Amino acid sequence: MSVQACAEMVQRMDEDRFRATMAAPVPAREVLFPIHAFCLEVAKAPWVTKESMIAEMRLQFWRDVLTEIQEGKTARAHEVAAPLHGVLDGAAAAALDESVTARQWDIYRDPHEDDVAFKRYLHATYAIPMHVAARLLGADERHAKALNRLGLAGAVGRYLAAIPALQDAGRIPLVDGRPEAVQALAKEALDQGRWGAQNLRGLSKEARAPMIDAMMQLPVLRQAARDPAAVLDGRLGQGAFKKSLRLAGVSQLRSWAIF
């Protein structure tokens, strides 16, 4: 029932997220690993069963955990729920409930209703957990707009990379899957991410740590903007060497304006 168990889960399920978190200061990791593990548990819930009712029950488990945190109840004896209980405050738990609700889309095969619904899904599943972690590590409402814009960039970068797998699973991941629409989405997210990165002044390295993963998505967005066909072909992403170089740069700089 420790942060170490959460770290091992993240390493096993999302190597890139693990490496980004290990690049953060140690105090930030204590907050990030339980939140990341929670997000992974919630994200996988719709995919571990073909029975929608069972998937809904798995999501409800995490809603119950978040409600118990808000009500100040004793932590459950669960490898993720217990460390999460030790990290979140009531406001953070309430915010993360929206992330759980958004994952209901993954249970069913309906497309996103429109672009607003699609952006709401991205915000809830990626930007909200990032924003929660940043607040717990020292960010405040002055940084909300920058966090949300960088959160959009991180969400779109990861989502575009996942599109081939979503299509193989029978989902309709994009409201508009035409190359020009994919290109426009990538460009918008890249512009938003750059603006966000340039407007995080005054944050400590600990408070910046939740945004490391989002910063790692900017080259993915540049690639998608240049070559939208790479999204459907599954060619998005950087090689290991380039990832390592970028991670080193992002984790060390206090100002991200050059990225």
pLDDT per residue rounded down to tens, the chain (259 residues)? 589 999 999 999 999 999 999 999 999 999 999 999 999 999 999 999 989 999 999 999 999 999 999 999 999 989 999 999 999 999 999 999 999 999 999 999 899 999 999 999 999 999 999 999 999 999 999 999 999 999 999 999 999 999 999 999 999 999 999 999 999 999 999 999 999 999 988 899 999 999 999 999 999 999 999 999 999 899 998 888 889 989 988 988 655 655 6
CB 173 within 8 A of CB 106: no
For residues 210-241, b (16+ Cβ closer than 10 Å) or e, as one string? bbbbbbbbbbbbebbbebbebbbeeebeeeee
One domain for residues 24 and 119:
no
Query: Which domain does 168 fall in, by range?
Result: 113-259
| Number of domains into which the chain is organized | 2
DSSP label of 141: G
CA nearest 111: which of 29, 190, 176? 176
pLDDT of residue 256: 62
Tokens coding 27: 């105090």
Give yes or no: residues 13 and 79 share one domain: yes
Helix or strand (DSSP H, E) at 57: helix 52-70
Residues 123, 251, single domain; the answer is yes
pLDDT number for residue 183: 97
Tokens matching residue 214: 């989002």
C-alpha to C-alpha distance for 231 and 162, rounded to whole angstroms: 9
Same domain, 101 and 167: no
Helix or strand holding residue 27 (H, E): helix 26-44
Dist CA 2 CA 82 (whole Å): 8
Are 251 and 123 found together in one domain? Answer: yes
> Which of 108, 134, 162 is the last residue before a domain boundary?
108
Among positive and negative, which fits the CA dihedral 227, 210, 139, 105?
positive
AA letter at 35: I
Within its chain, how far is the Cα of 221 from the centroid? Answer: 15
**Residue after which a domain boundary falls, among 78, 108, 138:** 108
Q: Are residues 132 and 236 in the same domain?
A: yes
- Whether residue 205 sits in one domain with residue 222: yes
> Which pairs from 76-81 meet CB under 8 Å and 24+ separation?
77/1, 78/1, 79/1, 79/5, 79/6, 79/9, 80/5, 80/6, 80/9, 80/34, 80/37, 80/38, 80/41
Name which of 146, 123, 119, 147 is nearest 133 in CA terms: 147
